[in-house]
Structure formats: structure tokens, C-alpha cells
Amino acid sequence: MRVFWYSGHTATRQALAAHLSQQGYLVRCAETPEIPLDGEDLILLDLPPDLDAALVLVREFRHRASDHVPIIAMGVWTLAGEVAPILESGADDYLLSPCPPERVALRLTVAARQAVKHSVGAEQKRLEERLAQTSKTESIATLAGSLAHDFNNLLAAILGNTELALIDISPQSPIRYSLEQIDKTSRRAAELARQMLTFSGHGANGSAFSAVNLNELVQEMAELLRISIPKSCIIRYYFTRPLPLIWGDPSQLRQVVMNLLINAAEAMDDRGGTIFVRTGVIEADGLPSNLTLEVRDTGAGMAPEVRTRIFDPFFTTKRTGRGLGLAAVRGIIAAHKSRIEVESETGQGSTFRILFPVLEGAAATTKHASDPDLDWHGTGNVLLIEDEDALRDAARRLLAKAGYTVLEAHSGRDGIDTIRQFGGVIHAVVVDINIPGVDGVEVYQAVRAARPDIRLLIWCGFDPDGVRERLKSVGSDLAVIEKPSQSRELALALKRLLSPQDSGQQNIA
């Protein structure tokens, strides 16, 4: 046991140190309180005769020592009104001085045992709290994943029916705008569901990346940001046009913008101020090399010691329970192979600047499945297996409109029976990977056994990359598409699966 022994009396200090050493203690003596601690297990203080000076000394050592290190104070006071302030200042025990070395050693032994017991109890309590928090987080994540999966099915039905209506309706119809707003809002809800799936541990890893116009993304969020930011804060937008495209996940990028603006608004408290949102382009050799997104506030700014820790998880200068916003931002930025810079001084506000690599070459203008100019029509007999009635109905009508003859099944078992009993040719099967009962993999294995020539299109509500990896050893005549998706994407994926030599393969496992 290591003991730090401070005393201004040389003879007393040496005599007690010698006795404690004989008892097995490792004693480090100090004749001035300025000598720094070195990880001692116990602190023994010989207090000066002035009570105020003694209280200052105890507070200083309590501040310097770890909470679990006992401090035993030795003084000349005998009244309770004099001893109580010493204990309140941070001492764990008090001995009347002068005190026999044997008694001091005994009190050190008691204090050491209590310290060990306290340390073990505190560690056990911390472990129990961490276990409870982990269990709570896992429960919430499981609930979020379950809700997001069901939410995806509902959104897929909404999006499918909305898109069918948009296909059928005249461009001049007065209700077309309302349908487009339903479609746009539902897609944002789908992005929220993907965030919930990411939190639950079932999120996609890079599969949601696409070419993004950051100006358009921020402008689309303008109304949502206006509602989320206090009225005392004014947002000013400055967009550089034309702006190069970047490669990213729109949902995650919206989360970055939202977190940065909310952080900027909170930095100004109730006083209000102005938030400046600016996009720009950095050129190299006359060509765009990086795109910049800058969020600047007129708030209180940050001290250097705060600025160095703002990206640490759970570090916050706000109320307890916060502190993940900027940590999430840094993680998203790293996933986008980009970097973030911070400038801030106390009283001068803060500036967060993100540098994204510009999307180069033809990939910036590549057509996606949602492009209306792409031919998504095909022919053939398709078996659609889906347990959600509304979603199955919307997908059936879309595939029929695309030119396919559609057979329906409401479960995996029903689908397998249909394949075995149908007398005609079935060119492809569309099935949810997580359909209740017999799942998509079992359906595929039964399909291969009964009809080796049938192709399979897997519809999954989460982690399409993980599903592809899982199915890699099963077969090559299948494709994977994420749910919810535009109905046209479903039809186009099916066309590419059935005619890869004409359309080019996409999402083939």
C-alpha cells in the first residue's frame, strides 16, 4: 500500500514514516504540499495549526487526488464544530495530533480496507449500470428495427400506388402536384426508416449511395429546417451554381445538415442570431476537385479545450443525454471519404466546413431506375410472393402495367405450391427475403429444385449488401432490390434479371 505523508515537522515525519515502513507500507514523505502525487493509495496530512489554512490544504489534496483515495487528516482540534469542516472539505478521517504511530497504522489499515470495498462496489455499480444501459439500447434497437421493417412495407404500398397514379394521370391534372408531394414526403419517411434500421444494426452499408446535388438537398430541407430552428435564429443560404455532384447517401447527408444547423442554433441560446449556409467549389488545375458545405453561426464560439473534444461521443456542453450529434456527423463524413474542418473562437461564433470529393466522369450523369426515360417494360410470367395485401396489390398492378403476367401468393409456402402446381412457364419469382413462415432463401431453394430455369428477385427491407453476401453461395440467377423502392425500379430490376445481355446486370448477387 502506497502512502503519501505530508508533514512540516521533520522529526514527526521521519518517525511515523519509519514505523509505517516496518508495517509494510511504501511511504513517500513530503515537507511541502506542492509536491505532486504519484498514484498513492492513501494520503496522510499533518494539518497546520490555523484552521482556515488547514481547510485550504484538505481541499487542495482532495482536488488533486482520485475520488477513491482516502485522506486522513491529523490536527490539534477537539471540538466537533472544528473537526466537521475538515471532513466536509474532503477528509475521510480525522486523528488528534500528536498520535501514536501504532494508532495511525491501525487507522490506515481500516481506511485501506474501506477504500478497496468502496472501489469494488463502485466498479460493480458501474458495470451494472453499463449492462442495464446496453440492455436498454438493445431493446430499443430491436423495437426500432421491427417498427422500421413494418413501416417499410407500408411505405412501399404508398409509394407503389402513388407512382401508379402518377403514371396514369395527365401531366396537366390539378391533382398531380398533390400526388408528387405525397411521393416526395413518403420517400423522406423511407429515409427515416433506413436511419432506424441503421440504429438497429440492420442498415445498408453504401447501397443507398447515389449522385447527389447538395444545393437541391439543402433546398429540399429548407422548410423542415425552418420548423426545427428557433424563430430567434435566421438562416441565410448562399448557393454556388452550377454545383458539381457528389457521391453519397442523401439520408445521411440530410442528417449531417440537420445536426450542424441545430448545433449552430443551440450555440446562440435564446439570444438568437444568424446562421449562414454556404456551398462552394474548390478547383485544382482549373477543374473542380472538392465541393464545400459551410455552416457558420454568430454564437458564443468555443474555447480551445471544448473545440478539441466536440466530436467525442457523449461529450456535450448541453444537458445530459446529448452529445451524439457531432460524433454522428464525423462518422458519416468519414464514410463519405470526406473531411470536416472547424474554426471557432470564444465570442466569435463557429464555422463548420465539410469538403466532399467531386463525383467525376460519366457516373455523375448516370441514369437511375427512377429516370422516366429508361424503358422498364418487359414480358413473361412472374410469381409475386408478398404477405402484405396492399403492397402485393400495388406491385401486381405495376408489373402488369410493365407488361408481365402476374401470379400471386401471400406466403412462401403458398408460393412454393403455386410453382409446383402451375402448368405453364414461370420466368421469375419476386419474394421478400423475410416473408413469414418459409423465407426467401427457402423459397429459392424449392424453386431451384422444382424449376431450375426460374430466376429470383429478392425484395429486402434492410441491408441489401448483407443479403447479397448471404445469397452469394446459393446461386447466380438472382437479384436483390431494396424495399421500399420506386415501383419502376422493381420492374427495371426484373427486366435486367430476365434479359441481362440486353440491359446490363445490376444488383446481381
CA 203 to chain centre: 11
208-365: CATH architecture: 2-Layer Sandwich (3.30)
Copy the grid coordinates of residue 193. Answer: 426508416
Q: Show Cβ contacts of residue 346 under 8 Å, excluding neighbours closer than 6 positions.
A: 300, 301, 302, 303
DSSP 30-59: ESSTTSPP-S-SEEEEE--SSHHHHHHHHH
Query: Domain 380-503 falls in which CATH fold?
Result: Rossmann fold (3.40.50)
Look at residue 22 in the predicted model and tell me its pLDDT.
83
What's the sign of the alpha-carbon dihedral 470, 474, 475, 479? negative
C-beta pairs of 393-398 under 8 Å, 24+ apart in sequence: 393/157, 394/156, 394/157, 394/160, 394/161, 394/164, 394/487, 395/156, 395/160, 395/430, 395/487, 395/490, 397/160, 397/164, 398/160, 398/163, 398/164, 398/487, 398/488, 398/490, 398/491
Domains 2-99 and 380-503 fall in the same CATH topology: yes
The answer to whether residues 477 and 448 touch, using CB atoms and an 8 Å cutoff, is no
Q: Which of 244, 249, 241 is nearest to 284 (CA)?
A: 244
The answer to whether residues 87 and 94 touch, using CB atoms and an 8 Å cutoff, is yes
pLDDT less than 50: residues of the chain? 204-205, 319-324, 362-373, 501-509
Rounded to 5°, the CA angle 303-296-252 comes to: 105
Alpha-carbon radius of gyration of the chain: 34
Beta-bridge mates of residue 75 = 96
CA–CA dist 74, 15 (Å, integer): 15
Look at residue 194 in the predicted model and tell me its pLDDT.
65
Look at residue 368 in the predicted model and tell me its pLDDT.
45
DSSP 379-395: -EEEEEE-S-HHHHHHH
Copy the grid coordinates of residue 196. Answer: 432506424
State the SS3 of 58-101.
HHHHHHHCCCCCCEEEEECCCCHHHHHHHHHCCCCEEEECCCCH
Domain boundaries, the chain: 2-99, 208-365, 380-503
For 2-99, CATH gives 3.40.50.2300
CA–CA dist 482, 489 (Å, integer): 9
Cis peptide before 484 (omega within 30 of 0): yes
3-state class of 190 per DSSP? helix
Residues across the chain: 509
The answer to whether residues 356 and 214 touch, using CB atoms and an 8 Å cutoff, is yes
- The interaxial angle of helices 250-267 and 176-199, nearest 10 deg, is 80
10 Å CB burial of residue 53 (0-12, 13-18, 19+) is exposed
Q: Show Cβ contacts of residue 462 under 8 Å, excluding neighbours closer than 6 positions.
A: 145, 148, 149, 152, 194, 197, 202, 203, 204
Report pTM.
0.46
Q: How far is it between the farthest Cα atoms of the chain? A: 107
